[in-house]
Structure 1
Amino acid sequence: MAEHSKRFPINHIIGFVLSIVLTLLAAWAALGSDLPVKWIIAGIMTLAVIQAGIQLFMFMHMTERESGGGHVPWNMMFHGFVLAAIIVAGSLFTMSFGFTHDHDDGGSHQQEEQQEEHSGH
């Protein structure tokens, strides 16, 4: 136990540095590159998948011996992916086909009726 606590977390540092590099690369692709939009979106999505893998294996301890001989909880990962897909699909649906706050009359029709009632006309 004492031997385990003195170990330097090199995997965590490598994962952290890789995550920062991938994030900066995605930010550069979105803000500073002259690539076509389709290539930028594809590149950012690819970087996101790579970063998710880094997070799972470097930080979430997916294949460590302490987790039952390298057992990967596939059922929990599947449910996490399904939940993420539902949230993304719902967000895209809401942003694409959601309600707008563009009202033509802005409630002025009600105000005109109230003024007519008070003025006696």
Structure 2
Amino acid sequence: MSNQHADSGVKGYVIGFVASLILTIIPFYYAATQSLSTGTTFAVLFGCAIVQVIVHFVYFLHMETKTDEGRWNFISLVFSAIVVLILIAGSIWIMWNLNINMMM
């Protein structure tokens, strides 16, 4: 395993922790104070969630595409995400059709 991760070690973990903390506090603040409209609050929450997922992948899971091992990890992540999305979409589709057919 390569020891050349970006910001590896304690420094990387501290940067990831602080970034995660900030990305958690921002949506909680806007949700608690209701200072923004509902749509804007959802957009801020969704944006912070996406950025936080990326922070976790980079700083805690050390996902990178520079090395051969990192590329395979990334391909595995994409494949897993596709399978999960197919399962979720299929389940929603089946439940929707069951609901429509049972209510007739």
Range into which the TM-score falls when normalised by the shorter chain = 0.5 to 0.7
Q: For 1:6-56, what per-residue CA distance to the aligned partner results, in whole angstroms no more than 9, with x for missing partners? A: x85100111011101110111011111321101000110000000001001
Q: For 1:80, give the aligned amino acid.
A: S
Give matches, 1:94-109, under 5 Å. Answer: none
Q: Which has the larger share of helix?
A: 2
For the aligned residues, what is the CA RMSD?
Answer: 3.3
Structure label with greater radius of gyration: 1
Q: For 2:45, give the aligned amino acid.
A: I
Gaps of 5+ in 2: 1-7, 100-104
Structure 2 match to 1:54: 55
What's the offset of the Cα at 1:86?
5.4
Give matches, 1:1-121, under 5 Å. Answer: 8-63=9-64, 68=68, 70-71=70-71, 73-85=73-85
Q: TM-score, structure 2 length as denominator?
A: 0.64
Conserved? CA contact 1:12–1:59, under 8 Å: yes
Q: For 1:91-118, what per-residue CA distance to the aligned partner results, in whole angstroms no more than 9, with x for missing partners? A: 8x97xxxx9xxxxxxxxxxxxxxxxxxx
Q: Which is worse superposed, 42-51 or 31-40?
A: 31-40
Distance 1:52 1:8, change over 3 A: closer
- Give the fraction of aligned pairs with identical amino acids, expressed as a percent: 21
Gaps of 5+ in 1: 1-6, 100-121
Distance 1:70 1:8, change over 3 A: closer
- Runs of 4 or more above 2 Å deviation: 67-75, 79-91
Structure 1 match to 2:102: none
Provide the aligned length of Structure 1 versus Structure 2.
90
Whole-angstrom distance in 1 between the partners of 2:87 and 2:28: 23
